[in-house]
Amino acid sequence: MKLDFFSAAVKTRRDAPEERDRLLRPALDLGEQREQLLLAHDDWAGPDEGLYAYPNDAGLRRWHTTVKQALGVDRPSTLTKAKLTAK
C-alpha cells in the first residue's frame, strides 16, 4: 500500500486484506495517539497542533487519512483549522 511518497519495501504485490489490516491497525492507533497528544498539550511551547492542522486541511502528509480509508474508519481528523478555532 502506498503511503504518501514512501516506496514499498516489497516489490511483489500480495493481496491479503487480513494481513494488510493487521499491519495498518498499529499505524491507525499511532495516528490517533499523535492527534490526542497534540491536543492534550496545546499549552506547551514545543509541538504546535496548528502546524499539523494545516497539512490536514491542505491534503499534505495524508498517511493517517490513507490508513483510515483503507481500514474503513469514517472519522475525520481532530486536527483541522476549523476544529482548533472553535475551541
Q: The pTM is what?
A: 0.70
- Asked if pLDDT for residue 25 goes beyond 90, the answer is yes
Instruction: Please tell me the predicted confidence (pLDDT) of residue 87.
Output: 66
CA pair distance 83, 3, nearest whole angstrom: 25
User: Cα-atom radius of gyration of the chain, to the nearest Å?
Assistant: 15
pLDDT tens string 44-83 = 777 777 777 788 788 887 888 889 999 999 988 888 788 7
Supply the pLDDT for residue 48: 73
Averaged pLDDT for residues 13-17: 75
- Cell, residue 25: 491497525
